[in-house]
Amino acid sequence: MIKDRLQRLAGYIVETYEYEGIRDVSIMCVLKGGFKFFSDLIEEMQRTIWARKTELCITVEFIRVKSYTDTTSGQVNIRSIDNAMPIRDKNILVVDDICDTGKTMTKLSDYLFENGAKTVKSCCLLLKHTDLNVGYRPHFLGFEIPDEFIVGYAIDYNECFRDLLHICSINEKAKKSFASRKNGELGTLPAASL
């Protein structure tokens, strides 16, 4: 299901930039959660570009943003960015795993525009339906999901579960077992408990 949606999403993104007459896009991956979606999306976009013989040049950039502790979405902190990354006059597509409150994308968009980006669009694999959303909706979207805490496909819970090849919700037992520990130890839980 993810692969099928990625193919359609990649086609729509390429078509949109083609329609707008944009020939170069810097695609920015929000680390760490967005890396799997980003990688697969870039691959599908390249296939689409080659198949359509579109003249769209893609460059890739990375940024690290932290907005979660356990299951709480809080302050958005841009933890690192390549200071040598050219932003001024660039068309930027920010790719992230999930949009729940919209604070991360809002802050990143503001930051990029303040630093001279020509255009900023966003692409998220998932949009969570929650009352906490500040009204932000990604330009490009894979799936809409209910207000549940999910893991897998590089989306973590306290750095765990990124390696799952699928996406699933995490139950209360797993949340308690893998909650942040001051001593750095992580809980253990059989996979059947997820």
Residue 122 · residue 55 · CB < 8 Å: no
Q: What is the pLDDT of residue 74?
A: 54
Give the tens place of pLDDT for each residue, 42-94: 999 999 999 999 999 999 998 887 665 544 555 666 655 666 677 899 999 99
Query: Do 90 and 163 belong to one domain?
Result: no
Q: What is the pLDDT of residue 79?
A: 58
Query: Do 138 and 160 belong to one domain?
Result: no
Query: Is a pLDDT exceeding 70 seen at residue 186?
Result: no
Query: Do 120 and 54 belong to one domain?
Result: yes
Q: What is the pLDDT of residue 80?
A: 58
Q: What CATH number is given to the structural domain containing 140?
A: 3.40.50.2020
**Sheet of 72-81, strands arranged across:** 72-81, 57-69, 24-31, 91-99, 119-128, 140-145
Structure token digits, residue 28: 């920015």
Query: Do 70 and 13 belong to one domain?
Result: yes
How many structural domains comprise the chain?
2
Q: Closest Cα to residue 154, out of 41, 77, 14?
A: 41
Q: Which of 100, 110, 131, 147 is catalytic?
A: 100
How many residues make up the chain in this entry?
194
Where is 141: in which H helix or E strand?
Answer: strand 140-145
Question: Any bridge partners for residue 119, and if so which?
Answer: 91
| DSSP assignment of 50-76 | HHHT---EEEEEEEEEEEEETTEEEEE
Between residues 13 and 87, the one the model is more confident about: 13
Query: Do 111 and 173 belong to one domain?
Result: no
- Concerning whether 100 is annotated as a catalytic residue, the answer is yes
Q: What is the pLDDT of residue 90?
A: 95
Confidence of residue 190 (pLDDT cuts 50, 70, 90): very low
Between residues 89 and 192, the one the model is more confident about: 89
Query: Do 18 and 104 belong to one domain?
Result: yes
- Alpha helices, DSSP H only, in 53-169? 103-114
Query: Do 168 and 127 belong to one domain?
Result: no
Query: Do 154 and 138 belong to one domain?
Result: no
Q: Closest Cα to residue 58, out of 69, 47, 73?
A: 47
Confidence of residue 193 (pLDDT cuts 50, 70, 90): very low
- Rounded to an integer, the average pLDDT of 21-38 is 91
Q: What is the pLDDT of residue 192?
A: 44
Q: Find the domain containing 63 and state its range.
A: 2-147
Where is 31: in which H helix or E strand?
Answer: strand 24-31
Query: Do 165 and 122 belong to one domain?
Result: no
Query: Do 40 and 59 belong to one domain?
Result: yes
Between residues 1 and 121, the one the model is more confident about: 121
Confidence of residue 4 (pLDDT cuts 50, 70, 90): very high
Give the tens place of pLDDT for each residue, 104-160: 899 889 989 998 999 999 999 999 988 887 888 999 999 999 988 888 887 777 877
Query: Do 114 and 167 belong to one domain?
Result: no
- Alpha helices, DSSP H only, in the chain? 2-19, 35-52, 103-114, 172-177
Q: Which of 13-17, 31-35, 84-88, 141-145 has the lowest mean pLDDT?
A: 84-88
Query: Do 142 and 158 belong to one domain?
Result: no
Q: What is the pLDDT of residue 11?
A: 97
